[in-house]
Structure 1
Amino acid sequence: MPPTDALLLFENPLLIVAGVLCGLVLLLVASTISANRQRRAEAEDAALRSAEAERRLADLMRIQSEMTGRMQTMSEIFGERTSHLARLVNERLDSQGQRLGQAMLDTRSKTEESLSKLHERLAVIDRAQTNITALSSEIVSLQSILANKQTRGAFGQGRMEAIIADGLALQSYSFQPTLSNGSRPDCVVSMPNGQPALVIDAKFPLESWQRLGAAETPEALRLANADFARDMGVHIRAIAEKYLIAGETQDTAFLFVPSESIFADIHERFPEIVQRAARARVVIVSPSLLMLSVQVIQALLRDVRMREQAHLIQKEVRELLADIGRLDERVGKLQTHFQQTSRDLSEILISTGKVTRRGEKIDAMEFEENPRIAAD
């Protein structure tokens, strides 16, 4: 457009308004076209989304139907397994109930048996308690006996006398005899072959020993040990001086201790007392050692008696051998008789066999024309 025309346009306002209106119309038409295109695009997108939603809904319906079928199948399987499980549980419960009932019955029977045994044991315990009560009263009486020196000495001597009397013959010992020096030991045992007698003393310083157990302080224990050693030394020296007489008694004497525990404690706690007694030729013996010594003496006496009666034994043996010879001869004769009897029995059996066979033939009517009885 030439410049003059443009100037003309700007100079005419109507033309300017008309141009503006034309521009506005063109912009309105363009925006309308664009809006229509946008609406068509949105409609197409909505259609696509609707189709996709319908497809997804169809898929969901299909999956739901499949899930419904599976759930129904699982429900049937679960119902079957639940019924099976319930049946198994009922069976197990019945079995456990029976086992529990049987176990309760067994437990009850065992409990009743245990209670009966318990009652028996309680009865035994009651009897034992009665015995213990009686024994405690006896111990009290024994304690009262031991409190007295004379009765305590009689108790120890009584144990020693019981051991000697049980193991030796009456003529082999004597209690409280009088020796040539006027002393009277508790027991004297005669030895074989005219040997000197064995002296046994049953006295024991029990008061000193009791003070050992009652000592509560080291000083009291030391004094009690010294007193016991002194009393034992005095007692050992008295036995050696009064009871060891040359040619009349053995050069060794026994000091009897009426308790194994005291005997063990003396050897463990007072070895010097044991050595002093050995030097004085006094042997400290307990009840078990005294029994062993009595058995040895008994064996020696038996051996001496056997040697004294050796010629009688030899005579008896010779007579026994003669009896054995006669018995052997008579057994030989008896054997000969048995052999002859056996032969006779064999011949008798042969004859009885022939008679039996002949009887069977007669019973069967089997006769021969020319019987040969003699030949048979």
Structure 2
Amino acid sequence: MLVELLLAAIVLVLLALVLWLLTTTRRELGELRQATAPADAVTELLRRQIEAVRAEGRDGQEAVRREVSDLALRMRGDIGGLQQSVASELKGVSTEVTHQLHEGMKLIQNAQTTMGDRLDRAAQVVAEVQGSLGKLGEATLRVVEVGKDIQGLEQILKSPKVRGGLGETLLAELLSQMLPQEHYTLQHPFKSGERVDAALRIGDRLVAVDAKFPLENFRRMLDEGEEDKRRPVRRQFVRDVRTRIDEIAKKYILPDEGTFDFALMYVPAENVYYEIIIKDETDLADDPIATYALSKRVVPVSPNSFYAYLQVIILGLRGLKIEANAQNILNDLARLAGDLDKVREPLRTLGRHIGNAQSQFTEAERALDRFGAKLETIERKGGAQAELPEVGS
């Protein structure tokens, strides 16, 4: 568009120049006609000048036309090259833009896929959380119901006799799960008429286990909120425990009736065991409960520590069983040694007989060889006689 405007401007300038020359010539011709009379010479001169001017104008127009044509050709070539360059650049830009658009679309699709997966996982997690919340709600309701049951059980266990029975039941259940029936006895009687809750049989001796632990003052101690009121109740609880230790040592440690020189005091709850054995913050002048119990040869055990004791007892029972089996094996070996002595003499006699038979076999084999040699000699002699010529032949 710019080149066409430029060409039009050049053409207009040339036309204006030609018009100006014609106008000037006509004006001079008019002035000359007014200044002089008409004459053929002047007219001819003027005609020639006009022709010359016209020829120059035509030559100028032709030159301008050629210049304009050359310029137009050059401009067309430049415009063509420019168009090709622009087209090439546009093609490259278009290709790059298309590639970038494709990459952008891929990124968008991947982002959409990732976002969809995350949304699906989030929805799944939300569903799982909702399910867990539902289960948690159900579990909470069950916990509330269990709490109510525990409250009812607590009311039932307020009776010391019932608590003792529960401790015996828990002890019996634990023993039934850990030991064979032949290695423990429930409610084992003594000559005094007393019965221990359980007696563990290790070899030919017994370990007494008592489960009647005093919990009344312990429960009162937990119910007291103030430390000043709790301290005297704790003292009473400690006295109850010491009293029970004395009773166990007196009633159930009876070596004359086959017991070991110690007994076990089964504490039915870990928190109680922690309070009397591990914590033991009593301000009494006497020894701590654990020291006092060991001095009486009474060993306090909780459910967890009693389980460990039972594991040790099981290992001991296995050792006893191995010892008994080893003794049986030794007895069997002794019997086998006697049987071997009984078999050894006949074997020796048989060996002598076999030796004699071997000697006789060797002697017979030698005699047979001698007999064979003689037989071969006789055969050779018989053959030689057969080869002699007949008489008179």
With the shorter chain as reference, the TM-score category is 0.5 to 0.7
State how far apart, in whole Å, the 2-side matches of 1:280 and 1:105 are: 74
1:92 shift after superposition: 8.9
Q: 1:88 to 1:297 in 2, by over 3 A?
A: closer
Pick aligned residue for 2:272 from 262, 274, 281: 262
Task: Give 1:150-165 correspondences, 5 Å limit.
Answer: 150-165=161-176
| 1:276 maps onto 2:276 in alignment | no
Q: 1:166 to 1:100 in 2, by over 3 A?
A: closer
Task: Verify the 8 A CA contact 1:260 1:287 in the aligned structure 2.
Answer: yes
Q: 1:105 to 1:313 in 2, by over 3 A?
A: same
Deviations along 1:136-178, one digit per CA (max 9) or x if unpaired, are 3442333233222222111111111112222222122211122
Q: For 2:122, what is the secondary structure of its paired residue?
A: helix
State how far apart, in whole Å, the 1-side matches of 2:223 and 2:326 are: 59
Runs (4+) of structure 1 exceeding 6 A deviation are 86-93, 315-318
Task: Verify the 8 A CA contact 1:163 1:290 in the aligned structure 2.
Answer: no
| 1:224 maps onto 2:224 in alignment | no
State how far apart, in whole Å, the 2-side matches of 1:312 and 1:300 are: 18
Other-structure match for 1:237:
246
Q: 1:184 to 1:94 in 2, by over 3 A?
A: same
State how far apart, in whole Å, the 2-side matches of 1:136 and 1:157 are: 23
Counterpart of 2:193, as a letter, is G
Instruction: Using structure 2 for the length normalisation, give the TM-score.
Output: 0.53
1:182 shift after superposition: 1.4
State how far apart, in whole Å, the 1-side matches of 2:214 and 2:327 are: 50
Other-structure match for 1:345:
none
- Structure 2: segments with no counterpart, 5+ residues: 1-89, 281-286, 335-393
Counterpart of 1:115, as a letter, is V
Q: 1:273 to 1:90 in 2, by over 3 A?
A: same
Q: For 1:295, what is the secondary structure of its paired residue?
A: helix
* Range that drifts further, 130-139 or 255-264: 130-139
Q: 1:106 to 1:246 in 2, by over 3 A?
A: closer
Other-structure match for 1:293:
309
Deviations along 1:2-55, one digit per CA (max 9) or x if unpaired, are xxxxxxxxxxxxxxxxxxxxxxxxxxxxxxxxxxxxxxxxxxxxxxxxxxxxxx
State how far apart, in whole Å, the 1-side matches of 2:232 and 2:142 are: 39
Counterpart of 2:288, as a letter, is E
Q: For 2:260, what is the secondary structure of its paired residue?
A: coil
Instruction: Using structure 1 for the length normalisation, give the TM-score.
Output: 0.55
Q: Which has the higher contact order (CA 8 A, sep 6+)?
A: 1
Other-structure match for 1:250:
260
Other-structure match for 1:171:
182
Deviations along 1:258-294, one digit per CA (max 9) or x if unpaired, are 1122212212332711111111111111112212222
Counterpart of 1:285, as a letter, is V
Q: 1:314 to 1:138 in 2, by over 3 A?
A: farther
State how far apart, in whole Å, the 1-side matches of 2:314 and 2:100 are: 83
Task: Give 1:58-69 correspondences, 5 Å limit.
Answer: none
Deviations along 1:339-370, one digit per CA (max 9) or x if unpaired, are xxxxxxxxxxxxxxxxxxxxxxxxxxxxxxxx
Counterpart of 2:217, as a letter, is S
Deviations along 1:71-91, one digit per CA (max 9) or x if unpaired, are xxxxxxxxx9xx99x999988
Task: Give 1:194-213 correspondences, 5 Å limit.
Answer: 194-195=204-205, 197-213=206-222
Other-structure match for 2:157:
146
Percent same amino acid among aligned pairs?
A: 25
Instruction: State the superposition RMSD in angstroms.
Output: 3.5
Deviations along 1:211-261, one digit per CA (max 9) or x if unpaired, are 222223332122012111111111111111222223212211111101122
Deviations along 1:89-131, one digit per CA (max 9) or x if unpaired, are 9889867754553344233222222233224423543453354
Task: Give 1:92-171 correspondences, 5 Å limit.
Answer: 98=109, 101-171=112-182
State how far apart, in whole Å, the 1-side matches of 2:294 and 2:256 are: 20
- Structure 1: segments with no counterpart, 5+ residues: 1-79, 319-376
Q: 1:144 to 1:218 in 2, by over 3 A?
A: closer
Counterpart of 1:282, as a letter, is V
Q: 1:109 to 1:268 in 2, by over 3 A?
A: same
1:133 shift after superposition: 4.1
Deviations along 1:309-342, one digit per CA (max 9) or x if unpaired, are 3354468899xxxxxxxxxxxxxxxxxxxxxxxx
Other-structure match for 1:70:
none
Counterpart of 2:308, as a letter, is L
Q: 1:256 to 1:315 in 2, by over 3 A?
A: same
Counterpart of 2:222, as a letter, is G
Other-structure match for 1:185:
196
Counterpart of 2:165, as a letter, is A
1:210 shift after superposition: 1.5
User: What is the aligned length?
Assistant: 242
